[in-house]
Structure 1
């Protein structure tokens, strides 16, 4: 099942600096899941090679901008500004609030950030 969903991950990487527009739940959560699984694999490889967190740190740095961009686009889908990402700076509570925002349904209609991504034909 996961192999068929890799396009969500690749699509986010292709839009790595696109902070405008909207990202629906599948795009955001599949990117997050695949990125998390890659991080686990790299942690195991780092441990086996004795390189401490070198590979994991390099991967985290490589996906920093795509992660921020898809997070902002996900907030846009819920009709919130990307500045809400900063709420994560508040320990524990901020992360929970941001998680609730990301998990919420997107607006079914066009909003200030663009058309509903579920209604836009894939290219």
Structure 2
């Protein structure tokens, strides 16, 4: 899954807390949020410097009405973007936890000291092979029994070697 596809998927599933999300989907959306935050942060710093420079150039302690309105609008834009991305980032995080076979409630461990490290470990883990209680594997790997082609089953034989899997 590419960067643009991952961002589109996360925004299409804006508040979908069910299902599973691949690692690439989660990390590309996290990268998108980080880059967008950097761009908005740099724009805010440039605006603050420009307005502050204009005030010091005129020898005034106050900023003109146009500068203060621009700063307020920029602050409002940063706040609106942050609020708009809060729900899809929580949703993709919960779907990523589902992909590792965990409940979405594990996200609350981030409220505990060092809980963020536990979440980081969960987010870098590979998907649970085959389907789990949250749906099929988004990678399309494994069959309905969680077996891979050529992987021995619990009885030592190959899946489908003696007819249908799970039958004698």
User: Do both share a fold (TM > 0.5)?
Assistant: yes
1:11-46 per-residue CA deviation (whole Å, 9 max, x = no partner) reads: 101101100000010100001011111110000011
State whether structure 2 residue 91 is matched by structure 1 residue 69: yes
- The Cα RMSD (Å) is 1.6
Q: In 2, distance between residues paired with 1:46 and 1:14? A: 28
Q: In 2, distance between residues paired with 1:56 and 1:98? A: 26
State whether structure 2 residue 51 is matched by structure 1 residue 35: no
Q: In 1, distance between residues paired with 2:121 and 2:78? A: 27
Equivalences for 1:15-26 in 2 at 5 Å? 15-26=13-24
Q: Structure 1, unaligned stretches of length 5 or more?
A: none
Please state how far the C-alpha of 1:57 moved relative to its aligned partner. Answer: 2.6
Equivalences for 1:92-107 in 2 at 5 Å? 93-107=114-128
Please state how far the C-alpha of 1:78 moved relative to its aligned partner. Answer: 0.2
1:85 is aligned to: 107
Q: In 1, distance between residues paired with 2:46 and 2:136? A: 46
Q: In 1, distance between residues paired with 2:127 and 2:6? A: 17
Higher Cα Rg: structure 1 or 2?
Answer: 2
Q: Kindly indicate which of the two structures has a greater share of residues assigned to helix.
A: 1
Q: Structure 2, unaligned stretches of length 5 or more?
A: 49-70, 142-168
Q: In 2, distance between residues paired with 1:108 and 1:56? A: 39
1:59 is aligned to: 81
Structure 1 length-normalised TM: 0.88
Aligned residues: 116
Q: In 2, distance between residues paired with 1:81 and 1:28? A: 16
